[in-house]
Amino acid sequence: MKPKSAGIPQPHDSQLDYDELIERAGYDFGLSRRSFFKTLGAGLLITVSLPAMAQESGSRARGDFFGSGARTLGARIHLGTDGSITVLAGKVDGGQGARTELSQAAAEELRVPVSRLQMLLADTGAAPDDGMTAGSRTTPGTVPGVRQGAAAARELLILFACQQWRTTRPHVKVLDGKAVETAGKRSLTYADLAKSDDAPKLFRQSISPDVELTPVKDWKVLGTPVLRPNARDIVVGAYQYPSDIARPGMLYGKILRPPAFGATLTDIDPAPARAMQDVIVVHDDQFVAVAAPNTTAAENALAAIAKTAKWSAAQPQPSSGELFDYLRQNAGEGLENPFAHEFGGAKTVRQTYHVPYIQHAPLEPRAAVAEWNNGQLTVWTGSQNPFGTRRELAQAFHLPENRVRVVIPDFGAAFGGKHTAECAVEAARLAQGAGKPVSLRWTREEEFTWAYFRPAAVIEAQASLDARGRIDTWHFININSGPNAVDTPYAIGKTQCRFLRSKPPLRHGSYRALAATANNFAREVFMDELAAAAGADPLDFRLAHLENPRLREVLLKATEAFNWRRHVNLTDASVSVGLACGTEKGSFVAACAEIEINRGQNTIKVRRVCQAFECGAILNPENLHFQNQGAILMGLGAALREEIQFADGKILNASFGKYRVPRFDDVPDLDIQLVDRPDLPSAGAGETPIIAIAPAIANAVFRATGKSVRAMPIRP
Amino acid sequence: MDASVSFVLNGKPQTVVTDPDRSLLEVLREDLHLTGTKFGCGEGQCRACTVLAGGECVPSCLTSIGDVDGMEIVTIEGVAGADALHPVQEAFLAEGAFQCGYCTAGMIMGVVGVLKKNPHASESEVLSELQKHICRCGSYAKYLKAVRGVLAQHT
């Protein structure tokens, strides 16, 4: 990892670097090659375009994270001769609103209502590879891609009308899904275009990046609060999540897990399970799993053989109690402050911050249904990485990728936690052994234990203040958790901000906003310490160091709506206020929090939060509001309580009973101020709204108690 | 040993012959293909699996199928009328009150259960039931808005 200089970080680079840190489960099941049986999956409609498989083989120029995008117009838009319109995208919806926003993007440019089109997401047998659904990339990456495709289809309709009517462009416009003559009565539909002789050839063309997109000022669908297209199915319980998928003859699987991380299976007797009716046992080296006609039967079978398993002891490994010392001891070179010799008599402040491991704990644990047909593998699963899942499956079973189809139904959330394919691979291995489709649903304990964690961090910060109370040098080191938002957005003369790798004791990976949350927590808490050292109000102190106009705007907006100037003077030892701001992935956030400290119970209640957020032109204010609400609540959980405890390779709090996540009584009064900037490109918004809440709470605690806050979860 | 269990499911008689120790949740989902009721934790902590049993909100993950013999069970699939959604479903839909939606059926059942026992239940009574539920997307404020919409119709 290169040291980074001050300035706004390049999120894409750091995201890529970071995702590579996620350890894959690394299953490898050797298989004899079988003949390729090319088949198009269910769900494909009558189309005028190329069969989807045509775009499949071939390399991804930019890898998993970005994907190759749609190579042809037909890969993005299918027009049915029956009038159906299907838009395809390789993104997934885990509740963050991709389906809604991509539908809006297509509807806007096609000039149709959202209800007129079908959005087919993340079926690798049909949709283009739009990369992972991560890094807040759907909005800046795929929304424009879908708009270009839809606008290109609209252009074709106009040209088709011009040909048919022997007229020119100024005399044709597209309204409500039809090309109409401005001075006549004739009209042509997308279905008419689909029926035309030239359609197959036209849809094999690539999409020109120069196609004209609808300017923001003319938006009719984008920028409006469209609701989720499959909302009705959700409220009646009809919508099928990955764990709800059922296939004929399907069995239910269970996997034998080691008693601790690093333990190795040395012996097991599968006979007791094999003796059970309708039970399949798969024993392939370290992989032991059972499948049975229902979950209880599978659990009983697994319990019967688990008793016979012998394990080699795992290597000694650090526990959560010694985590931070361990990370610091194993950090790479580069902790020294290069500005130390310049301090002279200047006032300096130094602090160390600790951020523990936490889990994503999406409400739907990992789930996959796998089915083999004539050497073709189909897997339905919840993942943020459809094409990466296909690749992991292909590698595990030594198959060419075009014999694997991965379908991602909208699923029960991820928050950065579902980049990897272990559950899909496990289900596929079981289905292969059983000769029948298998559904594998991880338990909550498995999800808490065997899914990767948000990385723990040790953050070292040191700064010096000049005689006027301005920050003069800034040294900031993140150990282990990542480079996101490690650079300071404040205007400071001399800065060094770095990420140093360490030796993570747990398998870690992505999480909503990644290390930006830890880095912004440490930075913003440290800023309040510096403000106190300088004798300045936290707001004034920040404004004095803040040149970025977008960050200034959200900070001013949040503090005005919260009435910071008034509330800051009302603080006492039990009711207090704090603020924080930050930027990541091209969007900007500031939060003010009012808290109440209960000294008897040693707890913190967050009573009120005012958060301002700006991410360019707003695509869907309702969804953006949701992302802010959800991120604040999720951030509040990590700020106040969440912490994975582990010892001897075991997770000690692997349940919702022992790992408390936010509930109704945690919800503060929420005032969310969305700043719309139609003059700026839209940035993603699923992550950055999480980074300001924890330091705002910590700074309120500091104000009330006068004691530095040095760790999450925050203790009063 | 399998047992025969008979109960009323969403207004219709239902008999299953199965291991009576299996959870009601598992039988609903795997045998009866009613997958609207969700698995979230298996320990009664998240209530994504809430159904009504004898008019009470229960976590179906902790309810044995053998224990519902003779009872009346209502799941999310049985809440709507023939022609119209239940008012609670209507309110959640109108608010768009969910993100991933995985907890939504459980939340709706929680509100339906409280209102079934007391059509004039207060907001705090509804919230004390919903306190048992987890929404990891953090849509609570929206859920609260939907609940207030429903309660307003009853006053």
Pairwise CA distance, residues A12 & A16, whole Å: 6
The nearest alpha carbon in chain A to B81 belongs to A236
pLDDT exceeds 70 at position A64 = yes
pLDDT exceeds 70 at position B155 = no
Confidence of residue A83 (pLDDT cuts 50, 70, 90): very high
Q: With an 8 Å Cβ cutoff, is A30 touching chain B?
A: no
Q: Is B111 exposed, middle or buried (0-12, 13-18, 19+ CB in 10 A)?
A: buried
Q: Which residues pair with B59 in a beta bridge?
A: B50
Residue A166, min C-alpha distance to chain B (Å)? 47
Q: Which of B50, B52, B102 would best serve as a mutation to test chain A binding (most A beta carbons within 10 A)?
A: B102
Pairwise CA distance, residues A612 & A302, whole Å: 51
**Whole-Å CA distances, A69 to A254, A355, A386, B38:** 36, 37, 13, 34
Say which of B33, B37, B41 has its CB closest to residue A246: B33
Q: With an 8 Å Cβ cutoff, is B26 touching chain A?
A: yes
CA angle A660, A665, A666 (to 5 degrees): 60
Pairwise CA distance, residues A260 & A319, whole Å: 12
Pairwise CA distance, residues A472 & A555, whole Å: 22
Q: What is the DSSP string of A50-68?
A: --GGGGTSS--SSHHHH--
Phi/psi for B127 (5° steps) reads: -70, -30
pLDDT exceeds 80 at position A55 = no
Across the interface, do B99 and A96 touch by the CB < 8 Å criterion? Answer: yes
The nearest alpha carbon in chain A to B132 belongs to A663
Pairwise CA distance, residues A220 & A215, whole Å: 10
Confidence of residue A291 (pLDDT cuts 50, 70, 90): very high
Across chain B, where does the E strand assignment appear? 3-9, 12-18, 50-53, 56-59, 72-74
* Confidence (pLDDT) at A314: 83
Say which of B30, B75, B102 has its CB closest to residue A413: B102
Residues of A in contact with B34 (CB under 8 A): 237
Query: In 3D, which of A235, A247, A494, A178 has the Cα closest to residue A348?
Result: A494
pLDDT exceeds 50 at position A388 = yes
* Confidence (pLDDT) at A433: 97
Q: Cβ neighbours of residue A716 under 8 Å, at least 6 residues apart?
A: A597, A598, A599, A602, A603, A604, A701, A704, A705
pLDDT exceeds 60 at position A53 = no
Residues of chain A numbered 604-643 and touching chain B (CB < 8 Å): 622, 626, 629-634
* Confidence (pLDDT) at A460: 98
* Confidence (pLDDT) at A25: 61
| Mean pLDDT, residues A393-403 taken together | 95
| Mean pLDDT, residues A128-148 taken together | 95
* Confidence (pLDDT) at A11: 38
Confidence of residue A571 (pLDDT cuts 50, 70, 90): confident
Across the interface, do B138 and A631 touch by the CB < 8 Å criterion? Answer: yes
Confidence of residue A39 (pLDDT cuts 50, 70, 90): very low
Across the interface, do A415 and B136 touch by the CB < 8 Å criterion? Answer: yes
* Confidence (pLDDT) at A20: 46
Q: Tell which wins on pLDDT, A191 or A68.
A: A191
Q: Evaluate whether A702 touches A597 at the Cβ level (below 8 Å).
A: no
pLDDT exceeds 80 at position A32 = no
% of chain A residues with pLDDT over 70: 92
Pairwise CA distance, residues A75 & A407, whole Å: 16
* Confidence (pLDDT) at B151: 95
Q: Which two tokens stand for residue A292?
A: 């049975």
* Confidence (pLDDT) at A572: 82
Say which of A227, A239, A363 has its CB closest to residue B103: A363
**Whole-Å CA distances, B28 to A26, A265, B25, B35, B58:** 35, 35, 5, 7, 14
Q: A198-213 pLDDT, tens per residue?
A: 999 999 999 998 999 9
Query: In 3D, which of B69, B66, B59, B137 has the Cα closest to residue A93?
Result: B137
Pairwise CA distance, residues A203 & A258, whole Å: 52
Residue A411, min C-alpha distance to chain B (Å)? 7
Query: In 3D, which of A699, A693, A566 has the Cα closest to residue A638?
Result: A693
* Confidence (pLDDT) at A407: 97
Q: A152-169 pLDDT, tens per residue?
A: 999 999 999 999 999 999
Q: Cβ neighbours of residue A72 under 8 Å, at least 6 residues apart?
A: A49, A50, A55, A203, A204, A205, A206, A207
Q: Evaluate whether B25 touches B39 at the Cβ level (below 8 Å).
A: yes
Confidence of residue A47 (pLDDT cuts 50, 70, 90): very low
pLDDT exceeds 90 at position A41 = no
Query: In 3D, which of B105, B92, B4 has the Cα closest to residue B46?
Result: B105
Residue A665, min C-alpha distance to chain B (Å)? 7
Q: With an 8 Å Cβ cutoff, is B42 touching chain A?
A: yes
Q: Which of B16, B99, B123 would best serve as a mutation to test chain A binding (most A beta carbons within 10 A)?
A: B99
Q: With an 8 Å Cβ cutoff, is A236 touching chain B?
A: yes
pLDDT exceeds 50 at position A12 = no
Q: Indicate the pTM of the whole model.
A: 0.93
Q: Which of A664, A665, A667 would best serve as a mutation to test chain B binding (most B beta carbons within 10 A)?
A: A664
Residues of B in contact with A227 (CB under 8 A): 96
Confidence of residue A26 (pLDDT cuts 50, 70, 90): low
Phi/psi for A192 (5° steps) reads: -60, -40
